Amino acid sequence: MDNRTVFDVNIWISYFLKGKFTELVSLMANHDVEFFRAKELTDELISVISRDKFKKYLHLPLQSYISFYEKISTFLTIQKEFSDCRDPKDNYLFDLAFQSNSKYLVSGDLDVIETIIDKPLNVVSLKTFKEMIAE
């Protein structure tokens, strides 16, 4: 697939809260997107989606969201190498993106988006990502 992509937790949560499962599948089918995940991303996703403030917005059991996420993404064990993100807890996202040879790292977090890197990777918002793959 040409559009290898890492979604930050905030992007996954947004899709789940809005129930936009078909849009995720459409990105894969119509725009050749392949999603990547690592243990660190899965752990953070489970931690965040389990928060009480999200329970009223989730219409399915928690495990349904996690199973869907695991089915549509490719698992990769990463080596911790990157250390330049303003928020050190997000360094793993760059490791995952670089080690999966992803073209995109999509986030709603400015600490991630504004990180300066010296490798070919588009670190963008969801809106910009959709515009770029639609071209």
Distance CA 29, CA 44 (A): 26
pTM metric for this prediction: 0.95
Tokens 């997000």, residue located:
90
Task: Determine contact, residues 109/93, Cβ cutoff 8 Å.
Answer: no
- The domains found in the chain, sorted by start residue, are 3-134 (3.40.50.1010)
Task: Determine contact, residues 65/46, Cβ cutoff 8 Å.
Answer: no
Query: How many of the other CB atoms lie within 10 Å of CB of 102?
Result: 23
pLDDT for 118 equals 87
Query: How many of the other CB atoms lie within 10 Å of CB of 18?
Result: 10
pLDDT for 2 equals 87
Full pLDDT tens readout for the chain, 135 residues? 589 999 999 999 999 999 999 999 999 999 999 999 999 999 999 999 999 999 888 989 999 999 999 999 999 999 999 999 999 999 999 999 999 999 999 999 999 999 999 889 999 999 999 999 988
